[in-house]
Amino acid sequence: MSMITLKVNGRTHMLDVDPATPLLYILSDDLALRGPKFGCGLGQCGCCTVIIKGQAVRSCVTPVSSVAGAEITTLEGLGSSAKPHPIQKAFIDEQAVQCGFCLSGVIMTAKALLDRNPKASDADIQQALSGVLCRCHTHTRMVRAIKRYAQGVKA
């Protein structure tokens, strides 16, 4: 076990954990965050995506020691149900959610993309989302929500 400092959603946490522990387990088990989900455990489905240093990162395959001190943002760090972030509001407005299991991964992936490239094309958005698996087939509504948010970012 080692003392590791994590900066999650603007708050600093000192944790005594095994440095090889996947970040997802720390976020869910130690910090009680429910945005990132355990899906495949292999970094392939995208349900566990968080934003680290502006990049969409799969937290299930990221050792906590590799992100010590870095700013980590989860879905909870964007907004709340009372005051949603504009990308969350766009998803609400477009009714772009069905089961919601992949939602955190989709939103975090899209936000990281648009933070880097506010003028992302439809192809860019599709490419970014191709790594997040959704079984409810709501991608059309999700893309509309992402484009709605992007319009506000560009303005």
The model's pLDDT over 62-116, given as tens digits with 9 standing for 90+, comes to: 999 999 999 999 999 999 989 999 999 999 999 988 787 889 999 999 999 999 9
Segment 24-65, tens digit of pLDDT: 999 999 999 999 999 999 999 999 999 999 999 999 999 999
Last residue of a domain, one of 77, 92, 117: 77
Last residue of a domain, one of 59, 77, 95: 77
Helices 103-116, 122-129: crossing angle, 10 deg rounding: 140
Number of continuous H segments (helices) and E segments (strands) in the chain: 6, 5
90 and 50 part of one domain = no
Residue 115 CB neighbour total at 10 angstroms: 13
87 and 149 part of one domain = yes
Q: Which residues lie below 8 Å from residue 45, measured CB to CB, with a gap of 6+? A: 39, 102, 105, 132, 133
C-alpha 35/C-alpha 65 separation (Å) is 21
Segment 127-147, tens digit of pLDDT: 999 989 887 777 788 989 999
87 and 48 part of one domain = no
84 and 73 part of one domain = no
Match 């089961």 to its residue by tokens: 99
| Structural domain of 70 | 2-77
Comparing 137 with 152, the larger pLDDT belongs to: 152
Q: What is the CATH number of the domain that holds 25?
A: 3.10.20.30
108 and 69 part of one domain = no
The DSSP code for 60 is G
Q: pTM of the predicted model, to two decimals?
A: 0.92
How many domains is the chain built from? 2
pLDDT confidence of 155, banded at 50, 70, 90?
A: low
C-alpha 38/C-alpha 36 separation (Å) is 7
